[in-house]
Chain A
Amino acid sequence: MIAQLTLIERQHAIMISAAIALLGGLMILAGRDDLMGVHGALISVASIIMIFRIGGSYYAPPPSEDRLRHYYDDPSKVGIVLSMMWVVVGLAVGDWVAWQLVNPDLTFGAGWSSFGRLRPVHTTSVIFGFGGNALIATSFYVLQRTSRARLPDQVTPWFVLFGYNLFCLLAVTGYMMGITQSKEYAEPEWYTDLWLVVVWVTYFILYLRTLARRKEPHIYVSNWYYMAFILVVAMLHIVNNLAVPVSLGHAKSYSAFSGVQDAMTQWWYGHNAVAFFLTAGFLGMMYYFLPMRAGRPIYSYRMSIISFWGITFFYMWAGSHHLHFTALPQWVQTLGMTFSLMLLIPSWASAGNVLLTLNGAWDKVRDDATLRFMMVAGVFYGLTTFEGSFMAIRSVNSLSHYTDWTIGHVHAGALGWVAMITFGSIYACVPWLWKRERMYSPKLIEAHFWLALAGTVIYVFAMWNSGIVQGLMWRTYNESGTLAYSFVDTLVAMHPYYIARAVGGLLFLIGGCLGAYNVWKTIKLPGTAAEHAGDLPQPVVLGAGIPQAAE
């Protein structure tokens, strides 16, 4: 892979790695009396390994000009492998914490393995590790094909991919050491946040640079979704993480916001992370891989446009539904509730688009587990967005909030929609990327599909039951007007559902492992399939080096 880089690119890559190693060194010095020093060491070691990896192939013959006739897919390939590694780790930790809720002794007494530390390890690994890597990998793939243009250079995509994984690694190791801002889905501390800003802005600029080189006049809808994902996540991340560190050598920081403003900023961030990380990006994936796999165009392109702008306009206001019955002004709560209900329109436009695209091709859905992953993802997307709007209604929220119903809702979205569309897209994309006829084993995809579906259904039903039981017990009063059940009573009532949830999670984890094995075996398959004649970028005309923004 390094042999694909030109000599100049190898030099740039070494210089960037050296600069990061230096930064790591400074962190070791400044944070020597603090946990930050450990992260400094981790950064230095990671970048020194990178320097040696590049250095090992430094004198390899330069790549031929022929490379420019093909799309640059190496970063997508590595991104997908990383994504499959993160999903196995993330699901395993998730199932471990699920069993900890069944039996608290399963922490085995260590600090790093307590529920409070492992739970963000789980969420970060699956959302950012698995989801994020899959988004970066597929966005490079889709961007190049829909623009019929190659990525502008061969170093920036690697910086984005490895830089992003360094962020994930710093986040996850930090939690286990107790480094956290304790903001949900924004747990990493200030220096890790700053690093992500650098990576993310580079990602956005790379996306724009490639689009500027496009040979296709129309920007396909997937790119709109991917761009919204990149741009809005940057915005959310920067604002929500505004904080003042105790000192430059100290990992701890304090938020720039306080009280209810802090809560509102956090949930403006949190719900839009759901919207733009877990929805917009994956819709971009869906709008490309579903039509490609089904071999037919999307049912209604118009609906995809309405859905895009609807999501962009409405989601921004929905976050306050996380703060019903709090110190937040009533009108802001009502605003959040109203916009959450309006969100049903763009959400169902996309969910409907999935099903209507497949209408008339149900035989393909029956025979092809990859396409079935995408179909089920569409169904769960429709179900979850309906449930979400419903739960945002204040009176429903008074029953559902703080209960396991929320956990059930989140996992219907995360397992049923996000993971299913990702697995479907990965199974579609891996043979195309590695030029194989098909995946190593269609039977394993079939098994993965049923394990994933069964796991999701068991998980979600368990949490619905548990959540409603919990919510009802919390609000039951006896004749004297005091609470009928103690908190421990509710724990006892929830125990069987927690076992069911952990079993559902285990099924999903086994499916994920089968997927990782299948992807690995496909990569190792000998021989390559004939290249699609059309899967090439538009040739660059000599002397036309200036980016052509509008053709």
Chain B
Amino acid sequence: MKKIKHFLLFFATLLIWLALSLSIFGARESALAQKADPSSISDDQVNAIAKNLYCPVCENVPLDVCGTQACEQWRQVIRQKLAEGWNEAQIRQYFVDQYGDRVLATPPARGINWLAYVVPPLVILAGVWILVQAFRSWKRPLTASPSLPEPENLSPEVLKRIEEELKKR
């Protein structure tokens, strides 16, 4: 009975973890911007979008903090598009079309890129499974045959003798 309880506990934690991951993964779209000229778009509006884009010229540095001229031009493009009334999703798509998937902070979940999201949870689940199996096999012998000697368990006496032998050498 207790065992079941433990497993429930185990899987409950797991489920919570999965639920947490999924809920955070769900992206939210913000509907920004009305029609206006570029100067009416604030730096913060531009940065909010730039934060999640990566310029191939400076790898691994988000667009909003990158100082190169190329990135400066990109931010101008975002400002222009915002002024034209595009929303964040459209602008991101524009950059993907222009420069490829690498501009996105995370790989888009299609094609082989599914693997990026599927493999870690699977490996972790496999780890859980191995752990559960290990727990089971560790528990069993004690209930089934408590005095079963493991062959390579050296008794204290033998170990002591080994130590002595070693000291003599």
A binds B: no
